[in-house]
Structure 1
Amino acid sequence: MVISAVAVPVDAFSYGLVTPLAAYAVACLGSALGLRCTARALSVDRSERKGWLTLGALAIGTGIFAMHFIAMMGFTAQGVDIGYDLLTTYASLLVAVVVTGVGVFLVGYKGRNSGALLGGGAITGLGVAAMHYLGMAGMRMSGEVVYETGTVVLSIGIAVFAATAALWFATSVKLFGSALGAALIMGVAVSGMHYTAMEAVSVHIHGSGLGGGGTSVIGTLTPILIGPVLLLLFVALFVSLDPMMERDRRRQWGSRPGETTGEKLEWTPFERR
């Protein structure tokens, strides 16, 4: 006898607003660091840009990865136990960093022209989407994940738009306060892409596989997230120690380097342009 597959209820907000807000905060952090590193790369000589652009790609890719899996802590499917394959999961992190890096390097070396922004935004956005769907492919459960095509296409469009906007901000926004505002906006866009993509998801299992309420994946995902979150915090510490941060904070409040304390700070190529 053939048992037909049954769609079971799924919930992306099983902990209420806790996981969406935590995911949004991490998305904002990754976006802010990525914007900062890319802007910093554009302020130095071409020969010195590689390190800052690499750091920016790490920040954006790791931030997106951490945001995704923090949000996935709130995802449950009724009667289905969910696990994750480590190889596929960390492959999604590598894809996020590498593909994001291609987009960031394109803008970092080609400058703020339409071709570089659109090309870099498209590549980076596809990297964001690839990270999401590869991360979803790493899920292990007794059921089958099915996607609604139209919503998937919409989520990819949001990812490309968000990435293009991020690269535009990175090459246009200079002051600390403005960059922070841009990061908050980008956090909304990246989180919006994730939850739009999750609207495309349904889980189907055979009737004989229906069980209880499903188990929490917090214990599974927490060890996976430790390394990427620590890496993101390391990038944040490195960026916070950059003299450009202090100089821009002074600019934000209308003072010049050395004006209030008498110290002499080095002027960068960015400031002389």
Structure 2
Amino acid sequence: MQGTVDGFSYGLVTPVVAYLMACLGGALGLRCTTRSLLVARSWRAGWLALGSAAIASGIWTMHFIAMMGFTVEETPIRYDKPLTFASLGVAIVMVGVGIFIVGYRGATGTALFTGGTITGLGVASMHYLGMASISLNGRLEYNTLTVSASVVIAVVAATAALWAAGQVRGFLWSVGASLVMGLAVTGMHYTGMAALSVHLHSTSSTPVGDSTAALIAPMMIGPLVFLCLAGVVVMFDPLMVMGKPDWTPKDNRPGIPAHPAVPHPGRRPPLRPGRDRGRRSSRTPQNW
């Protein structure tokens, strides 16, 4: 028997809040990725790790906020705790791999394609692993074509977001990119949900696992707190809004001062023909 699936049991509340969480995670993650391109290599890994964790936490929180509005009329829904935690871990690892590729190789060519693909597949894997944690009196079936469309949306969205992060532009650029990313990720989620159908078992049984309120609501406290802390780090970073680098390529060249306008210590300024030739002869050694 076909189950009656409702993904909007709370109306527009869950999709709107889910979208805002995806935007928040995307904004923090993309800004951290942009920031990593403006600092010395010794600091880059830390910013990239913070960015990947922020994006993954935002996407994971978005998914399960949206799932709070998911019901099947004929059966209660329970969640398997280990698989639910595993979906968050998969998101952090795969999104992190994609972001590190772009962070160290640049948001162009092969690196962008590879990083965007891995990040997008991480988002899709998180979604369908989270769906696998569902336990109910029936089985879940998916339309293959619609599932493929959701994966393509995730990959395209991730690639576009990483490209935007690699442009190293202003703060408003990252905000706009995060809004687009939030829309794409939320769209991917509901496209995947549109592929779902539930076929109920003929015999009635009680699903094994924790209820939505008992499991998901407390589990979201950790990612929400992390996103708030990441937001504080981003807001109070002195160069985050200015977008100025801590270093320039000249800083890494031996023998060239960090500020070319200031002469290197211990070096005499160059002669200016016709002006300094006679003037130098009148200077005393103390002036050097």
Tell me if TM exceeds 0.5.
yes
Confirm or deny that 1:49 pairs with 2:44.
yes
Could you say which structure has the higher helix fraction? 1
How large is the Cα RMSD of the aligned pairs? 2.2
| TM-fit CA distance, 1:78 | 1.1
> 3-state DSSP class of the match of 1:221?
helix
1:230-241 aligned within 5 A: 230-241=225-236
Counterpart of 2:88 in structure 1: which amino acid? L
Aligned position for 2:278: none
Match of 1:130 among 122, 125, 128: 125
Tell me, in whole angstroms, the C-alpha distance in 2 between the residues paired with 1:88 and 1:81: 18
CA contact (8 A) 1:84 1:140 kept: yes
TM-score by length of 2: 0.81
Aligned position for 1:229: 224
**CA deviation vs aligned residue, 1:205-226 (integer Å, no higher than 9, x gap):** 1234399xxx983443201211
Provide structure 2 residue ranges, at least 5 long, that are not aligned to the other structure: 252-288
Tell me, in whole angstroms, the C-alpha distance in 1 between the residues paired with 2:250 and 2:81: 47
Aligned position for 1:74: 69
Aligned position for 1:189: 184
Aligned position for 2:15: 20
Match of 1:203 among 180, 198, 204: 198
Tell me, in whole angstroms, the C-alpha distance in 2 between the residues paired with 1:19 and 1:228: 17
Cα gap change, 1:167 to 1:246, in 2 (>3 Å): closer
Aligned position for 1:104: 99
Aligned position for 2:90: 95
1:30-41 aligned within 5 A: 30-41=25-36
Confirm or deny that 1:9 pairs with 2:4.
yes
Deviates more, 1:67-76 or 1:224-233: 224-233
> 3-state DSSP class of the match of 2:180?
helix
Tell me, in whole angstroms, the C-alpha distance in 2 between the residues paired with 1:175 and 1:272: 23
Tell me, in whole angstroms, the C-alpha distance in 1 between the residues paired with 2:236 and 2:249: 18
**CA deviation vs aligned residue, 1:91-142 (integer Å, no higher than 9, x gap):** 1100000000000000000012210100000000000000000011111112
Counterpart of 1:28 in structure 2: which amino acid? C
Confirm or deny that 1:269 pairs with 2:247.
yes
Tell me, in whole angstroms, the C-alpha distance in 1 between the residues paired with 2:239 and 2:190: 35
Tell me, in whole angstroms, the C-alpha distance in 2 between the residues paired with 1:207 and 1:146: 16
Counterpart of 1:62 in structure 2: which amino acid? S
Counterpart of 1:24 in structure 2: which amino acid? Y
Cα gap change, 1:145 to 1:119, in 2 (>3 Å): same
Counterpart of 2:59 in structure 1: which amino acid? I
CA contact (8 A) 1:42 1:270 kept: no
Tell me, in whole angstroms, the C-alpha distance in 2 between the residues paired with 1:176 and 1:141: 45
| TM-fit CA distance, 1:176 | 1.0
Specify which structure has the bigger relative contact order, considering alpha-carbon pairs within 8 angstroms and separated by 6 or more residues.
1
Tell me, in whole angstroms, the C-alpha distance in 2 between the residues paired with 1:173 and 1:95: 28
Confirm or deny that 1:59 pairs with 2:37.
no
| TM-fit CA distance, 1:79 | 1.4
Tell me, in whole angstroms, the C-alpha distance in 2 between the residues paired with 1:227 and 1:241: 21
| TM-fit CA distance, 1:62 | 0.6
Counterpart of 1:225 in structure 2: which amino acid? M
Tell me, in whole angstroms, the C-alpha distance in 2 between the residues paired with 1:76 and 1:271: 56
Aligned position for 1:244: 239
TM-score by length of 1: 0.86
Counterpart of 1:185 in structure 2: which amino acid? V
Look at both structures and tell me which one has the larger radius of gyration over its CA atoms.
Answer: 2
CA contact (8 A) 1:65 1:96 kept: yes
| TM-fit CA distance, 1:247 | 2.3
Q: State how many pairs are aligned.
A: 248
Aligned position for 1:255: none
Cα gap change, 1:267 to 1:52, in 2 (>3 Å): closer
Tell me, in whole angstroms, the C-alpha distance in 1 between the residues paired with 2:249 and 2:16: 36
Cα gap change, 1:55 to 1:67, in 2 (>3 Å): same
CA contact (8 A) 2:37 2:168 kept: no
CA contact (8 A) 2:98 2:115 kept: yes
